[in-house]
């Protein structure tokens, strides 16, 4: 059972997420057509991510400055917003730019989640799934996408491994933020997989609704995982010194 102190901590984060939920509703209510990309549609799409910036900043600059993992998640959200803006114009040749921004995002998230514990079996399972997914995409990939998609999938899988490696669902070491990180990473992988299927393999029914709902949920959970940061700056320096 979740300790009472952690229940109060979870509840205390809710009000800070209200702007995010409102911005997400605005995106789905307006539902601007992809066929007419504009700076307005880019702003509406990025607005929920901007709200997650504010969510982390609401915990204070001091919190971010003294917790390297939270800082990396914040910077990852910045690159995510840039990637979202690029993907508004993906049909005009900016898909690769968006792909690059999200590749950086995944590297930052993986770094924030850390390399302890290693959880090699989890990593092996995710690696096998990533190879199988790439095998599905491969016949439909051409040019630079042949290797860029492979590299991107490796980064997404690595991020997912590091997020799920920290999961402890039983015992005293259990933390709700680890569950948020694992759930967020899983949803991010599902969202990216759906993008790949829809772009390279076959049209996925209601793909945009599914992609964006899983994506926003993933980013929210990953932002939440920074609240109970894994590594205060003092522990970070000690770990680097060892």
List the structure tokens of 164: 């799920």
Number of domains in the chain: 1
Q: CA of 13: how far to CAs of 20, 81, 154, 231, in Å?
A: 12, 22, 32, 20
Tens-place pLDDT, residues 161-175: 999 998 876 665 567
Average pLDDT, the chain: 90
Domain membership of residue 236 (yes or no) is no
N-to-C CA span, the chain: 35
Rounded CA-CA distance 204/196 in Å is: 10
- Of 217, 126, 125, 116, the closest CA to residue 173 belongs to 116
Please name the residues in contact with 43: beta carbons below 8 A apart, sequence gap of 6 or more: none
Confidence at residue 235, expressed as pLDDT on a 0 to 100 scale: 45
By CB atoms closer than 10 A (0-12, 13-18, 19+), residue 226 is: buried
Tens-place pLDDT, residues 192-241: 999 999 999 999 999 999 999 999 999 999 999 998 755 544 443 444 44
Q: What's the average model confidence in pLDDT over 24-50?
A: 95
Domain membership of residue 118 (yes or no) is yes
Tens-place pLDDT, residues 126-164: 999 999 999 999 999 999 999 999 999 999 999 999 999
Confidence at residue 3, expressed as pLDDT on a 0 to 100 scale: 55
Domain membership of residue 234 (yes or no) is no
> Percentage of the chain with pLDDT > 90?
79
Confidence at residue 167, expressed as pLDDT on a 0 to 100 scale: 82
Residue with tokens 């199988």: 132
Rounded CA-CA distance 163/121 in Å is: 14
Domain membership of residue 1 (yes or no) is no
Domain membership of residue 72 (yes or no) is yes
Domain membership of residue 233 (yes or no) is no
> Phi/psi zone of residue 171: left (φ > 0), alpha (ψ -120 to 50 degrees), beta?
left
Domain membership of residue 242 (yes or no) is no
Domain that holds residue 193: 9-227
Say if residues 184 and 219 touch (Cβ distance below 8 Å): yes
């Amino acid at each position: 059972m979740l300790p009472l102190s952690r229940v109060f901590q979870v509840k205390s984060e809710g009000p800070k997420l209200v702007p995010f939920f409102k911005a997400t509703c605005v995106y789905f209510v307006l539902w601007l057509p992809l066929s007419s990309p504009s700076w307005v549609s880019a702003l509406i799409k990025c607005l929920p991510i901007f709200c997650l910036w504010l969510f982390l900043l609401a915990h204070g600059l001091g919190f971010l400055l003294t917790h390297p993992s939270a800082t990396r998640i914040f910077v990852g959200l910045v690159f995510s917003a840039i990637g979202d803006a690029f993907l508004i114009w993906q049909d005009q040749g900016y898909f690769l730019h968006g792909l690059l921004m999200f590749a950086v995002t995944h590297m930052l998230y993986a770094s924030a989640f850390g390399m302890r514990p290693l959880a090699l079996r989890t990593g092996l399972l995710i690696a096998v799934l990533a190879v199988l997914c790439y095998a599905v995409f491969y016949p439909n990939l051409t040019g630079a996408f042949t290797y860029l998609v492979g590299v991107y999938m490796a980064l997404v899988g690595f991020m997912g491994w590091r997020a799920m490696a920290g999961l402890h669902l039983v015992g005293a070491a259990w933390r709700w933020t680890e569950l948020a990180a694992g759930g967020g990473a899983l949803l991010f992988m599902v969202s990216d997989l759906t993008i790949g299927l829809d772009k390279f393999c076959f049209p996925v029914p209601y793909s945009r609704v599914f992609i964006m709902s899983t994506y926003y949920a993933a980013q929210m959970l990953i932002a939440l995982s920074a609240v109970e940061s894994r590594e205060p700056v003092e522990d970070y320096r000690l770990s680097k010194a060892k």
